[in-house]
Structure 1
Amino acid sequence: MRSPLSGHLPRHPPPHLSPHPLQQTDFRWFFAGQLVTLLGSSMAPVALTFAVLDASADGGDLGVVLAARMVPLLAFLLVGGATADRFPRRTVLMAANLGSALTQGCVAGLLLTGHYRLLPVAALEFLNGTLAAFTTPALRGIVPQLVGKARLRQANALLGAMRNATKILGPSVSGVLVMLTGSGPALAFDALTGLLATLCLSRLPLAAGAAAPTRPVPLLTGIREGWTEFRRLGWVWWGTLSFCVINLVQTGTWQILGPALTEELSGKATWGYVLSARGIGLLVMSALMYRLVVTHLLRLGQLMSALGALPLLVLGAHLGTVWLLTGAFLSGLGFAASGIGWDTSLQEHVPAQVLSRVASYNDLLSYVAIPVGQLGVGPLARTFGAFRVTTCAGIVFAVVAVLPLVSGAVRGLPHAPADARS
């Protein structure tokens, strides 16, 4: 049966004529830039945390510094999306990476010279969070211009695998570096990666990532146009609502109650193994998604995302270490499939000239629930019990993950896969 949306899909070149992403020079430079910047970004939080804790007498500065970065990230996402749709995304990403390198370099300089003060460090992290708000929408929008729609799934699988690998490797390397040399050099390395990423991006064509030409519009008008497009896409609404509720019940529960309950059930060392098992699942599914050929990628991603609830349900049921490690591994599979499926669907079906704005609304409405969940999980656990709250969070997660599938727009959204044998 022909999908009602299939008539609106752009024509793709024959898959066998479309080179694999890493065979395309522009994507290789982009991939290299992402690799170095994500490695630095995964190292920076560990270094910054230890630096602030060491410099602050009571550790109270850490919450201020973390909030100083998170608040502008949320506040400026819509501005970042409108900017990435108005200017070449290569230019936006180069400016953001260069600015991030400068701000992190200044923080490193303060630490290396022994001049840590809360106000300048918080101000620099505020600037860093602002720059990140411009980076995320531009990244979503530039990939289709680099590889073409026939190779989007494979490109996102490669980027996902690299992102997950840096999340596993970066904190460990950062911890060792902080132990050996202190936090300043680790943050200086993050600044250096920003410069290297800027150099990689400079090798892309000048117009790389540019949206289709449109009339210049004021910033607020552009943001409103993004909202209009976001409202028009019912499947995006369903997915964003699902992510919002999942972030509300999962992030705080996993980050705050997860380590404590794991230690109570299996010992302190188990939490590290759990995170490693989850990371392995992320990597495995990223590799599988590179080769997997499906006709409804979004449907698969939504179904797989329900696996993310398993570790919460295992903890809530007081099950043993083997069950917890298995649940963590399967949750990694689910998160990777969901993320790759969602990014690819956005890039395939949202017009290029509004893609970054639609993505910014999706990110904002998804992420805004995270601090709410983090603040609320502690009082809920004290009132109802940590195990009970974790079980309820797992149940809500599983239900909400598959809830978008009641929409025919979600179930039927087509995917135009490249030939996995090519």
Structure 2
Amino acid sequence: MAGSFMSPVALAFGVLELTDNASWLSAVISASFVPMVATMLLGGGIADRYRRDTVLRLTSLGAGLTQACVAVLLLTHQHPALLLPFAAVNGVLQGLTTPALRGIVSNLAVGRGLQQASSLLASAGNTARIVGPTTAGLLTASVGGGWAIAADAASFLLAAAMFARISLPDLPPRAVGAPTMRTEMREGWAYFRSQTWIWTVTLAFAVFNATNMGFWQILGPTIANDTIGAAGWGLVLSARGVGALLASVVLVKVALMRRPMVPALSAMALATAPLILLGTGANTFWLAAASLLGGVVAEFFTVVWETVNYTHIPERLLSRVGAHDEFWSSASLPIGQLSAPPLAAAFGTTAVAVAGGGTAAAAMLLASLVPSLRRIEIHRTPDPADGQSRAEQQTTPT
């Protein structure tokens, strides 16, 4: 994660250094993101069908090798078009990784430990979120973005070695006539579309990602390149990590409220403040402050959402249903990324940033009004010592 949080800063300013063109930056980012999203559904089927620790080892190894190639291209100042195939392969590997990461927590924790595990993992990731962008900004400003990407490659290889230390039990042999992966993926889709509380949040985040995250990822480095620079932009991104880390540390100890979805979705409306301030020309201090707040509310929502998912979705379906959630909420992000440059050229960065942030905030607030989300509760899940299997503990909100 430390390397992955370095990568966006290093790649953005590395591409801008080569081309000074926001369209090329948009193309390189989309070349990675589109294959990632397209692969997520397959990744969900693989993660529910095979051992998740094995999947994570292989995808981390492959991602390390592809990022090493990207680093070489940046360090040797090659044309950005050569980055596209490596970015695409890396995106595929990330699409296979995400569902496995999401599902493996339920293999390692149970009951109250699910919230604690999610918060502890978030604390580690958020520490990386603080260190990564700042380090990338300093490296990019001093020796170039290629070295930050090289560190990202090394981090993936190190992660593969660490995943090798996790050893889950082998899955039971599949009986003759057992469902195919295609059948199992259809089962995941059927469950996803039958649960209003899941697809409503997914739809809200599809709007949020297109109009907030997509614009932020493109307009942010472009504006920062002419204003606060790479180091300032790294500081702003790290501030988000500080906020997220603070929230995740607190949530390790503090239990969530019984009905957490309305507070979580309402808080997410505040996560649009950084984009709005970016468009209005705020300085580094105010951008960092808003980014810190955004990190707090985003982490609160993440822990709530993951805990609700682990509590209410059967373990055998977690990766498949999670893949649909990730896919449909993220599929709109390239639309925001690709449309940001022409919209900014036509209407100005201020109008695009403010309108994007306002639209994303409205999507979160509207989702909080859905009755099934207002009623959903987090129940205490008994520990294995109570004699009840996790599969028997599942409840589905109406």
TM-score tier, shorter chain, comes to 0.7 to 0.9
1:29 alignment counterpart: none
Task: Judge conservation of contact 1:86–1:211 (CA < 8 Å) in 2.
Answer: no
Q: Following superposition of structure 1 onto structure 2, how do residues 6-405 of structure 1 map, counting pairs within 5 Å?
A: 38-49=1-12, 63-108=26-71, 114=76, 116=78, 121-178=83-140, 185-207=147-169, 216-257=178-219, 268=228, 274-293=236-255, 294-312=257-275, 326-384=289-347, 386-405=349-368
Task: Judge conservation of contact 1:107–1:187 (CA < 8 Å) in 2.
Answer: yes
Question: 1:353 deviation in Å?
Answer: 1.2
1:5 alignment counterpart: none
Question: 1:156 deviation in Å?
Answer: 1.5
1:414 alignment counterpart: 377
SS in 2 for 1:76: helix
Whole-angstrom CA distance in 2 between matches of 1:379 and 1:61 = 13
Task: Judge conservation of contact 1:212–1:353 (CA < 8 Å) in 2.
Answer: no
Task: Judge conservation of contact 1:85–1:211 (CA < 8 Å) in 2.
Answer: no
Task: Judge conservation of contact 1:262–1:271 (CA < 8 Å) in 2.
Answer: yes
Task: Judge conservation of contact 1:90–1:207 (CA < 8 Å) in 2.
Answer: no
Whole-angstrom CA distance in 1 between matches of 2:143 and 2:2 = 18
Root mean square deviation of aligned Cα: 3.7
Task: Judge conservation of contact 2:204–2:367 (CA < 8 Å) in 1.
Answer: yes
Task: Judge conservation of contact 2:276–2:353 (CA < 8 Å) in 1.
Answer: yes
Question: Normalising by structure 2, what TM-score?
Answer: 0.80
Q: Deviations over 1:114-172 (max 9, x none)?
A: 59576764333222111111000110100111121321222212222222222231133
Task: Judge conservation of contact 1:244–1:367 (CA < 8 Å) in 2.
Answer: yes
Whole-angstrom CA distance in 1 between matches of 2:243 and 2:21 = 37
Whole-angstrom CA distance in 2 between matches of 1:47 and 1:81 = 29
Question: 1:411 deviation in Å?
Answer: 1.5
Task: Judge conservation of contact 1:153–1:417 (CA < 8 Å) in 2.
Answer: no
Q: Deviations over 1:27-85 (max 9, x none)?
A: xxxxxxxxxxx112222344445555666698976555433322211211111111111
Question: 1:393 deviation in Å?
Answer: 3.1
279-288 or 357-366: which moved more?
279-288
Question: 1:106 deviation in Å?
Answer: 3.9
The aligned amino acid for 2:213 is T
Question: 1:417 deviation in Å?
Answer: 5.5
Unaligned 5+ segments in structure 1 are 1-37
Task: Judge conservation of contact 1:249–1:396 (CA < 8 Å) in 2.
Answer: yes
Task: Judge conservation of contact 1:99–1:131 (CA < 8 Å) in 2.
Answer: yes
Question: Normalising by structure 1, what TM-score?
Answer: 0.76
Question: 1:90 deviation in Å?
Answer: 0.7
Unaligned 5+ segments in structure 2 are 383-398
Task: Judge conservation of contact 2:260–2:304 (CA < 8 Å) in 1.
Answer: yes
Task: Judge conservation of contact 2:71–2:146 (CA < 8 Å) in 1.
Answer: yes
Task: Judge conservation of contact 1:244–1:368 (CA < 8 Å) in 2.
Answer: yes
Q: Deviations over 1:264-321 (max 9, x none)?
A: 9xx6377666545433322222222222222123333212212213345556788898
1:27 alignment counterpart: none
Task: Judge conservation of contact 1:177–1:186 (CA < 8 Å) in 2.
Answer: yes
142-151 or 382-391: which moved more?
382-391
Task: Judge conservation of contact 2:215–2:356 (CA < 8 Å) in 1.
Answer: yes
Q: Deviations over 1:181-215 (max 9, x none)?
A: 6555544433332222122222222328x699897
Residues 189/311 of structure 1: CA separation in 2 closer, same or farther (3 Å cut): closer
